[in-house]
């Protein structure tokens, strides 16, 4: 009797069916598959969990990930974090693009904890994106929270929507940049940033 009551309690606690999984099952059927076969039975749940994880940036805010890690400091030289791994989803085909982000800023009396810069990148990368917008969003967010003299962001990425479909160019790499403040207006600052990021390749 106790076991039956416990079973009834658990049934009552089951949340309503999320529409996400039926949509995935319908998509599998449209592709000509049988979502009931063994290998695909759990696929709708796995796809739901995976996509929610890959787009978790919608639930994140720059101010929250930085928190109180902004410090008053008289450092006047450029601060650059290179080779930040990025993984994102192209909003046009829902296929991944991945690569590295290089982020630098010129302090104006305040610095941010170094680990927070990759976290800012993550806020925007973990959304449906285009690389151009992602680059701008990172630069604008750092300008907003740090109010530095300038910010520079370069992203180098490989897009599976180009590699697996369409033109199918396996070695194509897309490079985007966003320059703000001194990085845009001062040639010496811009050249220093590009040397740090690319070893001078853009300046030859």
- Name the active-site residue from 7, 59, 92, 132: 92
Is residue 161 part of the annotated active site? The answer reads: yes
Exposed / middle / buried, residue 103 (Cβ in 10 Å: 0-12, 13-18, 19+):
buried
Reduced 3-state DSSP string for the chain: CHHHHHHHHHHHHCCCCCCHHHHHHHHHHHCCCCCCCHHHCCHHHHHHHHHHHHCHHHHCCHHHHHCCCEEECCCCCCEEEEEEEEEEEECCCCCEEEEEEEEEEECCCEEECCCHHHHHHHHHHCCEECHHHHHHHHHHHHHHHHCCCEEEEEEEEEEHHHHCCCCCCCCCCEEEEEEEEHHHHCHHHHHHHHHHHHCCHHHC
Query: From the candidates 21, 48, 80, 161, which is the catalytic residue?
Result: 161
Tell me, yes or no, if 80 is annotated catalytic.
no
CA 190, 194, 199, 204 torsion-angle sign: negative
Parallel, antiparallel, or unpaired: how do β-strands 96-106 and 79-90 relate?
A: antiparallel
Whether 90 is a known active-site residue: answer yes
Concerning whether 91 is annotated as a catalytic residue, the answer is yes
129, 131, 156, 192: the active-site residue: 131
Annotated catalytic residue within 21, 93, 143, 198: 93
Q: Is 143 a catalytic residue?
A: no
> Which residues carry out catalysis?
90-93, 131, 159, 161
């Amino acid at each position: 009797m106790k076991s039956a009551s416990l079973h009834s309690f658990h049934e009552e606690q089951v949340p309503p069916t999320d529409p996400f999984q039926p949509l995935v099952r319908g998509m599998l059927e449209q592709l000509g598959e049988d979502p009931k076969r063994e290998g695909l039975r759990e696929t709708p749940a796995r796809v739901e969990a995976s996509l929610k994880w890959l787009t978790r940036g919608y639930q994140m805010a720059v101010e929250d990930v930085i928190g109180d890690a902004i410090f008053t400091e008289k450092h006047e030289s450029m601060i650059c974090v290179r080779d930040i791994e990025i993984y994102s989803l192209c909003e046009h085909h829902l296929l991944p693009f991945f690569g590295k982000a290089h982020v630098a800023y010129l302090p104006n009396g305040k610095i941010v904890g170094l680990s927070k810069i990759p976290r800012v990148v993550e806020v925007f990368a973990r959304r449906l994106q285009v690389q151009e917008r992602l680059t701008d969003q990172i630069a604008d967010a750092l300008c907003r929270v740090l109010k530095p003299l300038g910010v520079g962001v370069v992203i180098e990425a490989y897009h599976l929507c180009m590699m697996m479909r369409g033109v199918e160019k396996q070695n194509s790499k897309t490079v985007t940049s966003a320059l703000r403040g001194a990085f845009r207006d001062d040639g010496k600052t811009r050249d220093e940033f590009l040397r740090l990021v690319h070893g001078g390749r853009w300046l030859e």
